[in-house]
Amino acid sequence: MAILVFVETADGELRGSSLEAVGYGAALAQQLGVQASAIVLGTNLSQDKLAKIGNYGITRVLQIADDRLNQGVIQAYSNALGQVVSAQGITTVVLAKSSLGDAVAARLTVKMQAGLASNVTELPLSVAGGVFKLKRSVFTGKAFQITEVKTANKILALKKNAFAPVPSSDSATVEQISVSLSEADFGAKIIKTDKVTGELLLPDADKVVSGGRGLKGPENWGVILDLAKALEAATGCSKPVSDLDWRPHHEHVGQTGVKVSPNLYVAVGISGAIQHLAGVSSSKCIVVINKDADAPFFKAADYGIVGDAFEILPKLTKALQAL
Amino acid sequence: MKILVCITHVPDTTSKIAFMNSDTELNKAGLTFVIGPYDDYALARAVEIKEAQGGTVTALNVGLAETEPTLRKALAIGADDAIRIDADPTDAYFVATQIADIARKNGYDAIFMGRESSDYNGGQVHGMVGEMLGMPSFSPVMKVEIEGTKVTLAREIEGGKEYIEASFPLVLGCQEPIAEWKIPNMRGIMSARTKPLQVIAPVSQENLTSGGHYELPPARSGCKFIDASEAEKLIDLLKNEAKVL
């Protein structure tokens, strides 16, 4: 029995959500009394950065240093991981839910004949007899379910904030491994990537500031961006805002958009339709700022301010800068 | 072009979720069931492709007899025929096995479905089906354009999107804005009644996971209001009371 944590990179850095998965994998290994390793595909990261995975609890890092894996080609990734899993005797794969992680995990499930639990929100409630009892988020954040995974091989796809690692100064040793990939594995070609760089990614963020139609137009987003910058938060928006093209689709938070579970979620000018609430309900602390004292969102909030966002937000930004 | 569109039968997105039988079962009383919102996008795009290029669209659902009105709606929207695999969709692997089995028998150029169901949100079935059939799979796909044998896709990634060139056959997990949802018109609704809906027994597949009891998220203790004139007090509360700064 052994655990493998799949680690993703973004802009030449380790992804925050993957580091949570590393911490989770290390804690799970301890719970089970087994070894854990982490794996990184491609050569996007320097060896120093790979060694930093050790800070989060796993000191054995495997790398497949094949430049073709610098792009997240789904089939190549799943075939590479399938080979690593059998060569290394891996029984449990842990990863953070993401656009790449989900796509790869699904294919890996078939290769491993593994039971897969998605949107896992904490360490197993029990691992007795090799059966994992896992709490996971269902009905788009409206409920949780305890799922049992009884198969010998298991895959756990984690929801953001399933684990809060405490970084140490431990460093990881990086081992190079190789797998055999064919041209067919790279048959689907990524021809172009349009991606913001240097911005905090919404699914990785510990804090999120979202704006809704109450901001009246895309030209008024400055107050949101300023507050997000002062908070070191990612920016999100409601569905109408993304439908109106005021903000890009990848910022849409809610039932049919990105589901977030940050420590702090600040909603500005968003009334709080049930579909939006579903996407944010597992946030630790929710702040709602709205002109309308009857906005349903206040019922789901921890802190509320009734008033004009264009007056309130600059005050908050200033107070944060003074900290 | 022969397209299979897999649809889920899920509570409407505005539903309040409640459980019964000691929290082991969804309380369906008062819930309206619909085609999964992401599946609705997949279906709309498949129908557009069929209308532009010819071919057929088959709608498939793994579910008990209660899901037939949802399949009829897919027929009203523009699917030519429907298949219901007569089984409770107990886990993603079970559902993927059923879809792969039908696909092996019937042979499709493309299999479309939503990026995830809005009940269990696993987002896994498309990838599993792809692997089972040895076809490439892509998700979440927000654009698909077809030119001869070449397929161009836009896949949403964190912070943006990537454009992919692929070829048939393939499996896609779709999301907005791949197409506009289609509202069935009267002609569609009338013709849906007589379009073929085949009921097929499932192939055997052991469940790899099993669902236990449900819990609702803990209620928030209530909203503490701060007067707008002293908004900056919020920062102090977030730092010292909520401890999130």
User: Quick one: pLDDT at residue B217?
Assistant: 84
Structure tokens at A215: 């901001």
Q: Is B147 on the interface with A (CB under 8 A)?
A: no
Q: Is A28 on the interface with B (CB under 8 A)?
A: no
Chain B residues whose CB is inside 8 A of the A126 CB are none
Just give the CATH number of A202-321.
Answer: 3.40.50.1220
Q: Is B30 on the interface with A (CB under 8 A)?
A: no
Of all residues in chain A, the percent with pLDDT exceeding 70 is 100
User: Quick one: pLDDT at residue B66?
Assistant: 95
Which one-letter amino acid corresponds to residue A309? A
Are B127 and A201 a contacting pair at CB < 8 A?
no
- pLDDT tens per residue across span B200-212: 999 999 889 988 8
Q: Is A70 on the interface with B (CB under 8 A)?
A: no
Looking at the complex, report in whole angstroms how far the Cα of residue A107 sits from the nearest Cα belonging to chain B. 5
Are A195 and B19 a contacting pair at CB < 8 A?
no
Task: Report the residue of A303, A306, A308, A317 to disrupt the B interface, i.e. the one with the largest count of B CBs within 10 Å.
Answer: A303
Of the candidates A299, A77, A189, A246, the one whose C-alpha atom is nearest the C-alpha of residue B223 is A299
Residue ranges of A 226-285 with Cβ closer than 8 A to chain B: 231, 248-250, 255-256, 259, 263-264, 273-275, 278, 281-282, 284-285
Residue of A nearest to B120 (CA): A138
pLDDT of A5 over the 80 cut = yes
Measured between alpha carbons, how far is residue B63 from residues A228, B68, B197 in Å?
45, 8, 13
Q: Which residues contact A312 (CB under 8 A, 6 or more apart)?
A: A289, A305, B228, B231
Chain A residues whose CB is inside 8 A of the B208 CB are 113-116, 149-151
Q: Is the peptide bond before B140 cis (omega within 30 degrees of 0)?
A: yes
Structure tokens at B117: 């169901």
Q: Which residues contact B123 (CB under 8 A, 6 or more apart)?
A: A97, A102, A106, A118, B115, B116, B139, B140, B173
Residues in chain B: 245
| Beta bridge pairs of residue B170 | B110
Q: What is the mean pLDDT of residues A137-155?
A: 92
Average pLDDT along chain B: 93
Chain B residues whose CB is inside 8 A of the A278 CB are 13
Residue ranges of B 188-227 with Cβ closer than 8 A to chain A: 208-217, 220-221, 223-227
Looking at residue B85, what DSSP letter applies? E
Are B209 and A116 a contacting pair at CB < 8 A?
yes
User: Quick one: pLDDT at residue A202?
Assistant: 87
User: Quick one: pLDDT at residue B211?
Assistant: 84
Are B214 and A312 a contacting pair at CB < 8 A?
no
- Predicted TM-score (pTM) of the model is 0.89
Q: Is A166 on the interface with B (CB under 8 A)?
A: no
Alpha-carbon distance of A127 to B183, in angstroms, equals: 47
pLDDT of A142 over the 90 cut = no
Which one-letter amino acid corresponds to residue A291? K
Strand, coil or helix: what is B127? helix
- Please give, one letter per residue, the 3-state secondary structure of chain A: CEEEEEECEECCEECHHHHHHHHHHHHHHHHHCCEEEEEEECCCCCHHHHHHHHHHCCCEEEEECCHHHHCCCHHHHHHHHHHHHHHCCCCEEEEECCHHHHHHHHHHHHHHCCEEEEEECCCCCECHHHCEEEEEEECCCCEEEEEEECCCCEEEEECCCCCCCCCCCCCCEEEECCCCCCHHHHCCEEEEEEECCCCCCHHHCCEEEEECHHHCCHHHCHHHHHHHHHHCCEEEECHHHHHCCCCCHHHEECCCCECCCCCEEEEECCCCCHHHHHHHCCCCEEEEEECCCCCHHHHHCCEEEECCHHHHHHHHHHHHHCC
Looking at residue B67, what DSSP letter applies? G
| Beta bridge pairs of residue A43 | none
pLDDT of A199 over the 80 cut = no
Which one-letter amino acid corresponds to residue A154? K
Q: Where are the domains of chain B?
A: 2-214
User: Quick one: pLDDT at residue A161?
Assistant: 85
Strands A143-149 and A189-195: unpaired
What's the burial of B240, exposed, middle or buried (CB within 10 Å: 0-12/13-18/19+)? Answer: exposed
- pLDDT tens per residue across span A76-131: 999 999 999 999 999 999 999 999 999 999 999 999 999 999 999 999 999 999 99
Structure tokens at A142: 């409206």
Residues A63, A173 contacting (CB under 8 angstroms): no
Q: Which residues contact A206 (CB under 8 A, 6 or more apart)?
A: A16, A233, A262, A263, A264
Band of pLDDT at residue A58, cut at 50, 70 and 90: very high
- The lowest-confidence range among A23-27, B129-133, B212-216 is B212-216
Same fold, A2-186 and A202-321: yes
Chain centroid to Cα B16, Å, comes to: 19
Q: Is B52 on the interface with A (CB under 8 A)?
A: no
The minimal CB distance from A316 to the residues B17, B227, B232 is found for: B232
Under CATH, domain A2-186 is a member of which superfamily?
HUPs (3.40.50.620)
The minimal CB distance from A190 to the residues B128, B164, B225 is found for: B164
Just give the CATH number of B2-214.
Answer: 3.40.50.620
Structure tokens at B72: 């009829």
- pLDDT tens per residue across span A113-124: 999 999 999 999
Q: Is the peptide bond before A262 cis (omega within 30 degrees of 0)?
A: no
- Give the full edge-to-edge strand order of the sheet including B170-174: A189-195, B160-167, B150-157, B137-147, B170-174, B110-114, B2-6, B56-63, B81-86, B197-200
Q: Is the peptide bond before B169 cis (omega within 30 degrees of 0)?
A: yes
User: Quick one: pLDDT at residue A310?
Assistant: 96
The minimal CB distance from B124 to the residues A98, A106, A143 is found for: A106
Q: Is B25 on the interface with A (CB under 8 A)?
A: no
Q: Where are the domains of chain A?
A: 2-186, 202-321
Band of pLDDT at residue B5, cut at 50, 70 and 90: very high
Residues B240, B48 contacting (CB under 8 angstroms): no
Are A188 and B120 a contacting pair at CB < 8 A?
no
Chain A residues whose CB is inside 8 A of the B145 CB are none
Concatenating the DSSP letter of every residue in B19-54 gives EETTTTEE--TTPPEEE-HHHHHHHHHHHHHHHHH-
- pLDDT tens per residue across span A243-290: 999 999 889 999 888 889 899 999 999 999 988 998 898 899 999 999
Alpha-carbon distance of B64 to B70, in angstroms, equals: 11
User: Quick one: pLDDT at residue A100?
Assistant: 94
Q: Is A187 on the interface with B (CB under 8 A)?
A: yes
Residue ranges of B 225-244 with Cβ closer than 8 A to chain A: 225-228, 231-232, 234-239, 242, 244
